[in-house]
Amino acid sequence: MGYAWYTKMRLELDKQLIRLHVELIKMGSLCEKAISLSAKLLTKKSDAMMQEVFGVDAEIDAKEKELESFCMMLLLKQQPVAKDFREVSAALKMVSDLERIGDQAADIADLSRHIKGETVHGMLHIDDMASAAVKMVTESVDAFVKGNLLVARKVIEDDDIVDGLFNCVRGELIKMIQEKKIEAETAVDLLMAAKYLERIGDHAVNLAEWVEYSITGERKNNEHHPNM
């Protein structure tokens, strides 16, 4: 009787964890979409695309609340222990970082209102930053679902790529100001957009660190934690 009860509970928990993985993948995909669209808005003005970013951000907010409730239900009703407990606890933390990623993508979209698209043409490092940030978010969620520690640690290392690209953008903007190819106000807006992408990279590091915790039980401080 005891073994049958345990087997039933184990199967139910496994089923719920699979659902958690699926929903986390959906939230991650929404974040990837928001980042990509907001980066495009820096070079291509589109009211429809801007509203789409804001709509995706609202979906991410709703998904955060949904997953928070789901994780709390698992912790209280299923009462997971050991690795299962760490997995649910890590997911609970990850949804918070994913929500902030959505917010920062929306902030980039909002900044794009004030940036002339032709100004950004040729500044390829902005696009490179967005692509690198999207890849970090994708790989963090993938590492969580697959329990892949090596991929999680690679994401943490890849933050140096995003940081390096931010420095390239800053250097490009300084040069453009010196050559009077850009107005100072526009340069500040572009630098802030790049800063938001850098912070998205920092949040992706947070995601990877929680993946590491879910697998090993330890969470190292890699000193990349964003303040916003």
Report pTM: 0.90
Contact 87, 80 (CB under 8 A): yes
Tokens 């998904």 belong to residue: 63
pLDDT tens-digit profile of 42-85? 888 889 999 999 999 999 999 999 999 999 999 998 888 888 99
pLDDT tens-digit profile of 172-181? 889 888 988 8
- Contacts for 75 with CB less than 8 Å, ≥ 6 apart: 85, 88, 89, 92
The span from the CA of 130 to the CA of 71, in Å, is 30
Domains and CATH numbers, the chain: 2-216 (1.20.58.220)
pLDDT tens-digit profile of 115-133? 765 556 556 688 899 999 9
Helix axes 184-216, 82-111, angle to 10 degrees: 170
